[in-house]
Structure 1
Amino acid sequence: MANYTAADIKALREKTGAGMLDVKKALDAADGDSDKALEIIRVKGLKGVAKREDRAASDGLVAIEVAPSSDGSGETGVLVEINCETDFVAKNATFTTLADRVLAAAVASEAADVESLLAAPTDGGTVADLVAETAATLGEKLVVRRVVRVSGEKVASYLHRTAKDLPPQVGVLVATDAAGAEVGRDVAMHIAAYSPTFLTRDDVPAETVENERRIAEETARNEGKPDAALPKIVEGRMNGFFKENVLLDQAFARDPKTTVGKVVEGAGGTVTGFARFRVGA
């Protein structure tokens, strides 16, 4: 019988994310040698890549790095989302290390989309190679789902954990001018909670505004509102739409009596851009 302990099983499970039975079988086949057992698990994982392709990868984490912009104009924040199949793997050290390496490659390569990021170099191969190798080790489908870069004079960031034992599930970047940096992190925390879609009203596509206005008018008519009152009612409902979806119009999370726009204005600053990722959303 192979010579290994419960501690050996635990260590290999933590390293690979593999199930108890798979780890024990690998240790048995490797006669208790942890390195050989790890290789067996990885080979088994590689063989299972095709089978995993149709499985859902809706768990995972987000990661952020903010650094000086390469052109010296200010700062650039990079936000990536990497998915796996289970929360067990999401908090596994092998998976979180993968995320760190993918984020580093995104920063170094200045990749602005997933295709470019997967082709970016890392440790003698590409990010795509690294993801495939790690997927083989962990035995789950892994996906680099999205990446975004936000640049500005100053960039604030915020990462939020939806559970204490899991890595961050929500990530936010906010670009401001120098004065706006004073409230940048507060705004980032607000975005994490309220998930706005647009920065300003001007950023809302005209067709979206027209559609919302049409819905508001039709709804008012169906409610039997008099024609004379329709313009005011529609305008009120459009303001409600903007307050729900436009960052600067939203009621500020820390003080709902004011808006995000007024908070930024009070600091003498300007928000120039933002991005928000939530794992699986």
Structure 2
Amino acid sequence: MANYTTADIKALRERTGAGMMDVKKALDEADGDAEKAVEIIRVKGLKGIAKREGRAASAGLVVATVADDGQGQVGVLVEINAETDFVAKNQKFLDFADQVLAAAVDSGAQDAEALAEVEVDGTSVKDLTDGMQAVIGEKIVVRRLARLSAPAVELYLHRTSPDLPAQVGVLVGTDAKAAEVAHDVAMHVAAYAPDYLTREDVPAEVVDKERAIAEETTRAEGKPDKAIPRIVEGRLGGFFKEHVLLEQAYAKDPKATVGKIVEASGGKLTGFVRFRVGA
């Protein structure tokens, strides 16, 4: 039997993120040599990448940063998925996420597809991701990337559990005056998950669909024909209040809308991005 201890197993799990049985098998095969065991885990992991393609990767984290860009600020937000929370908080996975974020910032990549081709230390982000899958033994996906430019960009990262990395990330773009309320607005966005900044940003086909649903519902309730247009518009207004950021009731003061809070600052919002892991 190979000569290794429970502490060796634990250390190798923390180092690689691999499962306990995989670590024990690798140590057995390597006769207790930790470095050889790491190589065995990596080789076996590379062979297993194709098998993991169909597996769900709904855990993970979001990483982000904001930097000056000469004309204002730019925020970069990246979501990276794994299969389990155990991997999501593994230090190797966290370090990998920081590498991917740095590549996203430095390259100016606009989406995950472009980011996959970015070179990092002589290899691509895609190959770096495959290497992490090989070592950790789970499907890993750099799922999405967003960039937001504005005179000022506020970043808010939220942990849904204290022992996990951030699961929700928000960027809010403002002008200089609205920057004073941007942090509270970013926290609001994290909690209330709006889909659009303004009513005008809602696609026409979405509005038409909601109007049709409202009309069908109203008719099914037997409302008088002459009252239907008014009721439909009221229900459509309710849709906007739920999905449009500036029309949502403000989290810190539900008597006011987000739009009114921003207006009171004398500034304006220019955009926002919200990622929630797996959503």
- TM-score for both structures, normalised by structure 2: 0.98
Percent of residue pairs identical: 68
Partner Cα separation in structure 2 for residue 138 and residue 173 of structure 1: 30
1:95 is aligned, of 82, 93, 96, to 93
In 1, Cα distance between the equivalents of 2:120 and 2:247? Answer: 42
One-letter identity of the residue aligned with 1:52:
R
Map of 2:63 onto structure 1: 63
3-state SS in 1 of match to 2:246: helix
Q: What residue number does 1:121 align with?
A: 119
Structure 1 gap segments, 5+ residues each = none
After superposition, the C-alpha distances for 1:197-224 in whole angstroms (9 at most, x for unaligned) are 1000011112211221121122111101
What residue number does 1:111 align with? Answer: 109
User: For 1:21 and 1:263, how far apart are their aligned partners in 2?
Assistant: 55
Q: 1:255 aligns with which of 237, 253, 256?
A: 253
Distance in structure 2 (CA, Å) of the matches to 1:30 and 1:213: 66
Query: Can you list the C-alpha shifts for 1:53-108, whole angstroms capped at 9, x where unaligned?
Result: 11111111111011112xx1110000001111111111111111111000000000
Deviation at residue 269 of structure 1 after TM alignment: 1.2
* Equivalent position to 2:178, from 160, 177, 180: 180
- Residue 192 of structure 2 corresponds to which residue in structure 1? 194
What is the deviation of 1:226? Answer: 0.8
2:275 partner SS = strand
The AA in structure 1 aligned to 2:132 is T
Q: Partners of 1:4 and 1:49 in 2: how far apart?
A: 28
Letter matched to residue 112 of structure 1: Q
The residue aligned with 1:80 is 78
Matched residues in 2 for 1:59 and 1:22: separation? Answer: 21
- Distance apart, 1:227 and its partner CA: 1.5
How far apart are the structure 1 equivalents of 2:20 and 2:204?
Answer: 55
TM-score w.r.t. the length of structure 1 is 0.97
Q: CA deviation at 1:188?
A: 0.7
In 1, Cα distance between equivalents of 2:46 and 2:208 = 51
AA aligned to 1:146 is: R
Matched with 1:130 is 128
Q: Provide the aligned length of Structure 1 versus Structure 2.
A: 279
1:174 CA drift (Å): 0.5
Unaligned runs of 5+ in 2: none
- The CA deviation string for residues 229-280 of structure 1, in whole angstroms up to 9 with x for no partner, is 1222112111100000000000011111111001111111100000111111
Give 1:218's aligned amino acid: E
**Residue 236 of structure 2, aligned match among 235, 238, 245:** 238
CA distance in 2, matches of 1:167, 1:125: 26
Deviation at 1:150, TM superposition (A): 0.5
Q: In the alignment, which residue of structure 1 is the partner of 2:14?
A: 14
Alignment-mate amino acid for residue 2 of structure 1: A
Equivalent-residue separation in structure 2 for 1:205 and 1:30 (angstroms): 59
User: Which residue is equivalent to 1:222?
Assistant: 220
**Aligned equivalent of 1:213, options 211, 214, 221:** 211
Q: Which residue of 2 aligns with 1:25?
A: 25
Q: Name the CA distance, whole Å, in 2 between partners of 1:103 and 1:37.
A: 29
Match of 1:36 in 2: 36
